[in-house]
Each structure stands twice: as C-alpha cells, then as structure tokens.
C-alpha cells in the first residue's frame, strides 16, 4: 500500500489516480469495457488527473486479471453474478487494499471471501446517448416489438425468452399476432442456438451494432425483456430504462438496486445450481465454476408480456418513472462522485496535484 501524507482538501486541487483498467473483451465484456471507459471519462470531467505517478491505482477487472501495483493503494473494482465466486478468484482479493462492487448483492457475496473492505459504487448510464423517448402503442401493420439484447449464453436469459415466446403465442394468440420478438446478440458463433427456436414473428439479429444503432433499436421497440439469471449490475437493463422503455426483468442481484415494480415488471424465479464455463483463447468453452443463481418463471414472463401489451398506458407510466430514476441516481457523473467519496473515505486523504 502506498504511503500518504495528510488530508489534502484545498480548493483548486485535484484528485490523482493511476488508471490501470484496460479491459480487453472476448465478446462478453460489455459491462466491464463500458464501465472502465465511461467511469474514467466521468472522473476526468470532475477534474481527476490520470497519472502513472499516482499512489492510488484503480483496476476494473475480474480478480484473476488483477495485478496490483507495487507500493500503491490498489482498488479492485469487480463483480459477479452468482451466490459464490470461482475458487481462483479468492487469493487475488487479498492483494487488494479495497474492493469496490456495483451492487448490494455483490457486497454480500464478496464479503464471504475476504477481510478486505468491500463497498458498493453503482455503475451509470450515458443519459445523453440513451435519451428518453416517448413511445406509443403501434398502429397496424407495425408490430408491437419485444426486445431482448445480450450475449447468447444462458445467464442472459436467451433460453427463457425463446421458451416463453411460444407460450405467449399459445396462451395469448391475439396479442402474439400483433407482436414480434427481436433477439439482438453479437456472438455469431452461437447464432444456431437462437435460430433453432425461430418461427414466424421471431427475428434474430447477430450484426455488430454501433452504440447509436443500438439506441435506435431501443427507440423502435416497445418492451424490453431481461430474464437474467444473475447480474453484477445489469447495464443493458438500465440503458433500456433510461429511454423510457417498459422493462420486464428478473428481480434478483444487480437490478434490485435500481428498479422495482413501480418502475418495471419483476419476474418470479426459483434458485438453481448453475454450471458456468470459461471462454478460452481459442474460442472453446470449458467447465469452470458451480454456483447458485436463479431461473425466471417462463409462464410468468409470457404473462408479463401480455400485461404490458394489454395495458400499454400503464407500462409507459412505469417506463417514465424508470427513466426518471436512472437520471436521478444512475448516471456516470453520480458514479464518479460516489467513487471519489469512497477513495477519500478509505484512503483517509484526497490525493491532489496543484
């Protein structure tokens, strides 16, 4: 840990950090890569200076990728989606001086494995990019678009959506005939797993999207489906909420911190054992870790879809409250402010440069 001087809180001085985060994703790192880029920008906008000479080092990475800097105060910002973490994550935790996680659920999980302080700092949404959009129920022949976005792995709930869609057709045929389901993923090697569920009114899009094209997809969609099995935070859900899109979501882990039935449509779920896999450098997947997570109720998902469709005015009211909640509490500027407060509290100083 670095050696610090007395507290420095003089007007006109700035915090100084060594920013080590440079997440290199293999396809599943949207949260980490967005987080390290946007939080840094928000900190710099608040006057924080990034320098390798700083005595406080920030690492936004999974614990197995954490390499603490010698003679510095090392902050590890990480996250996980289950009730237990992988065994090879445990030793690196002890190398950190402070562990920061993005939700209350993660505080509870990580505290079981380390005596290091574990504190929460929410992620944020770029609310200028993901701006509020006033929707209305589509006039025929335009369909009512349900949207799911994510990596095509079971944790993101693609199987839950694919199974709930034919249930929606079976139990709510009139609503189904006026609707379509768009499943947006970028992992083309897994497209077959999605396409096998394909039928009329179901569209699978595996193209690479720019952020603006993703925003545009949100704007032309009418309801967001997020039956996740677990989240460190749930950034895509928060981004959809920011646009005012009514959201159906699993009420567990990260999302519990920023959405409730007042702003969205929570799903019932059951706890279950999950076998996770690791993505290797050659693209293969190998068994990795057994944890406890949740599985959303398929029939409840179909019923929630019908509920949103049938009373869209109420859904839009919840969407408006969701957008207001994100703008009030879940912005990158708020995240940066919270992160700076955490640094001051746990280091005992505000490291500054004149």
pLDDT digits (tens, 9 = 90+) for 186-234: 765 554 455 444 556 888 888 888 899 999 999 999 999 999 999 999 9
Q: Residue 34 above 80 pLDDT? A: yes
pLDDT (0 to 100) of residue 22: 61
pLDDT (0 to 100) of residue 205: 86
- Domains plus CATH for the chain? 14-124+331-353 (3.40.50.2000), 144-329 (3.40.50.2000)
Contact of 258 with 189, CB cutoff 8 Å: no
pLDDT (0 to 100) of residue 196: 47
Q: Is 234 left (phi over 0), alpha (psi -120 to 50) or beta?
A: left
Output the CA torsion 99→103→104→109 (10° steps): -60
Placement of tokens 């050696």 in the chain: 3
pLDDT digits (tens, 9 = 90+) for 302-325: 999 999 999 999 999 999 999 999
Q: With bands split at pLDDT 50, 70 and 90, how would you rate the model's confidence at 6?
A: very low
Point out the least confidently predicted range of 45-54, 93-102, 274-283: 274-283
pLDDT (0 to 100) of residue 218: 98
Which residue, 137, 133, 163, 134, is CA-closest to 148? Answer: 163
d(CA 286, CA 282): 11
Q: With bands split at pLDDT 50, 70 and 90, how would you rate the model's confidence at 353?
A: very low
pLDDT (0 to 100) of residue 198: 55
pLDDT digits (tens, 9 = 90+) for 103-129: 999 999 999 999 999 999 999 999 999
Contact of 342 with 47, CB cutoff 8 Å: no
DSSP for 45-74?
HTTPEE-TT-SEEEEES-GGG--PPTTSEE
């Amino acid at each position: 840990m670095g050696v610090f001087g007395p507290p420095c809180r003089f007007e006109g001085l700035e915090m100084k950090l060594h920013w080590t985060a440079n997440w290199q994703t293999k396809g599943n790192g949207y949260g980490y890569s967005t987080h390290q880029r946007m939080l840094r920008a928000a900190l710099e906008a608040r006057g924080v200076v990034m320098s390798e000479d700083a005595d406080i080092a920030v690492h936004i990475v999974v614990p197995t990728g954490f390499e603490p800097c010698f003679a510095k105060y090392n902050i590890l910002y990480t996250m996980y989606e289950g009730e237990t973490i992988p065994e090879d994550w445990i030793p690196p935790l002890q190398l950190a001086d402070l562990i920061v996680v993005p939700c209350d659920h993660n505080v509870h999980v990580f505290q079981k494995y380390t005596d290091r302080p574990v504190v929460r700092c929410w992620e944020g949404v770029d609310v200028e990019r993901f701006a509020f959009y006033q929707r209305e129920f589509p006039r025929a022949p335009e369909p009512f678009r349900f949207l799911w976005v994510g990596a095509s792995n079971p944790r993101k709930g693609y199987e839950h959506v694919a199974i709930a869609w034919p249930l929606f057709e079976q139990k709510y045929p009139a609503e189904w005939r006026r609707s379509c389901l768009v499943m947006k993923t970028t992992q083309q090697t897994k497209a077959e797993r999605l396409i096998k569920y394909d039928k009329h009114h179901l569209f699978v899009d595996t193209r690479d999207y720019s952020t603006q094209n993703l925003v545009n997809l949100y704007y032309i969609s009418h309801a967001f489906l997020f039956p996740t099995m677990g989240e460190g935070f749930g950034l895509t859900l928060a981004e959809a909420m920011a646009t005012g899109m009514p959201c159906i979501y699993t009420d567990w882990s990260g999302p519990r911190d920023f959405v409730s039935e007042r702003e969205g449509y929570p799903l019932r779920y059951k706890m279950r054992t999950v076998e996770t896999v690791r993505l290797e450098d050659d693209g293969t997947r190998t068994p990795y870790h057994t944890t406890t997570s949740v599985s959303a109720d398929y029939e409840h998902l179909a019923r929630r879809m019908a509920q949103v469709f049938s009373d869209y005015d109420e859904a839009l009211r919840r969407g408006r409250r969701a957008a207001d909640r994100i703008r009030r509490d879940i912005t990158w500027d708020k995240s940066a402010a919270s992160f700076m407060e955490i640094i001051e509290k746990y280091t005992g100083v505000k490291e500054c440069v004149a």
